[in-house]
Amino acid sequence: MTAFIIEDEPLARRNLERLLHSEYPEIEVVGTAESVEEAVLWLKTHQPQLIFMDIQLADGSCFDLFEETDIRCPFIITSAYDQYALQAFEAGSIDYLLKPVTAEGLKRAVSRCLQRSGAANQGRMLLRVGGIIYPVSTNQVAFAYAQDKNTFIVTLDGQRFPLNQSLDDLTLRWDQLRFFRISRSCLLSRDAIQQLRTLPGGRYALTISPAAPFDVEVSRGRAKDFIHWLEHPI
């Protein structure tokens, strides 16, 4: 799992990184930021799987982030004060950690994150085609794609179903350890990937199974994060 830390206090940031390294060596801190502006710029080109964010930053509040960028992964809010807890949970925070963050608090928060991720991975949808209802779990999905303002999912055995949800909704809800948004129009499961081929301009062409009704390419802006995601399945 990859993590991004938004924290303007060096001691607090180092403490969190130390605890993560000690308690969860499988979680890799791939970036840090000290301000809202820094965080927004970083998130425009990266897709972490977990974010830790302090409330009071160098140039504002972490709540300003939600107006500047689309946070699509689980996040945990930290603060030296307890009066922001309700606002944090209303914003969707998995947990609210008072600083200095302790190993016990971190374990609780990350455990909740992993539980939510596991639940998303095993989520079940009821898909209707005509008068027939098909139960399909997300671990059966090879990819989802948007076409002509419609959304479709294709299962690993090649079945295609229309879906009354946007690709943005699926990207937010589905397990980011299993699925990666390779472009604006395609959300791909790692289980479908068979082969990668480099293209000019830093892009990748993918061979997937089942085959898609379009060229499957990773856009240039997502290529670096895609390779990192592919190399770190947990």
Contact 145, 152 (CB under 8 A): yes
Share of the chain above pLDDT 90, in %: 55
Could you tell me the two tokens for 4? 């991004």
Mean pLDDT over residues 12-27, rounded? 91
Contact 77, 96 (CB under 8 A): yes
Q: Do 200 and 226 fall into the same domain? A: yes
Q: How many domains does the chain have?
A: 2
> Half-sphere exposure (CA, 13 Å, Cβ side) for 198?
5
Q: Do 98 and 85 fall into the same domain? A: yes
Burial category of 7 from C-beta neighbours within 10 Å (exposed 0-12, middle 13-18, buried 19 and up): buried
Helix boundaries (H) for 3-102 = 10-23, 36-43, 65-68, 85-91
Residue 231: which pLDDT band, with cuts at 50, 70 and 90? Answer: confident
Compute the distance between CA of residue 15 and CA of residue 30 in angstroms, rounded to an integer. 16
Residue 19: which pLDDT band, with cuts at 50, 70 and 90? Answer: very high
Domain that holds residue 88: 2-120
pLDDT score at 213: 93
Residue whose tokens read 């139960």:
135
For 117-139, write each residue's pLDDT tens digit: 655 555 678 888 777 888 888 88
For residues 102 and 173, the model is more confident at 102
Q: Do 40 and 105 fall into the same domain? A: yes
Q: Do 177 and 214 fall into the same domain? A: yes
Contact 65, 71 (CB under 8 A): yes
Q: Do 129 and 72 fall into the same domain? A: no
pLDDT score at 123: 66
Neighbours of 147 (CB within 10 A): 11
For residues 124 and 152, the model is more confident at 152
Mean pLDDT over residues 3-13, rounded? 95
Residue 115: which pLDDT band, with cuts at 50, 70 and 90? Answer: low
**Residue 24 clears pLDDT 90, i.e. is over it:** no
pLDDT score at 168: 82
Q: Do 32 and 68 fall into the same domain? A: yes
pLDDT score at 33: 96
Of 134, 136, 144, nearest to 212 by C-alpha is: 144
Could you tell me the two tokens for 132? 């027939």
Last residue within a domain, chosen from 120, 149, 168: 120
Compute the distance between CA of residue 167 and CA of residue 47 in angstroms, rounded to an integer. 16
Question: Helix, strand or coil for residue 209?
Answer: coil
CA 216 to chain centre: 20
Last residue within a domain, chosen from 67, 101, 120: 120
Q: Do 183 and 164 fall into the same domain? A: yes
**Residue 25 clears pLDDT 90, i.e. is over it:** no
Q: Do 57 and 129 fall into the same domain? A: no
Mean pLDDT over residues 170-188, rounded? 86
CA 62 to chain centre: 18
The CATH number assigned to the domain holding 218 equals 2.40.50.1020
DSSP-derived letter for residue 104 is H
Last residue within a domain, chosen from 120, 148, 179: 120
Q: Do 6 and 104 fall into the same domain? A: yes
Torsion of CA 76, 26, 198, 216, to 10 degrees: -50
Compute the distance between CA of residue 206 and CA of residue 216 in angstroms, rounded to an integer. 5
* One-letter amino acid for residue 185 of the chain: S
For 204-225, write each residue's pLDDT tens digit: 999 999 999 999 999 888 898 8
Q: Do 23 and 74 fall into the same domain? A: yes
For 43-81, write each residue's pLDDT tens digit: 988 888 899 999 999 899 999 998 888 887 889 999 999
The CATH number assigned to the domain holding 11 equals 3.40.50.2300
Residue 3: which pLDDT band, with cuts at 50, 70 and 90? Answer: very high
Q: Do 11 and 113 fall into the same domain? A: yes
Contact 40, 46 (CB under 8 A): no
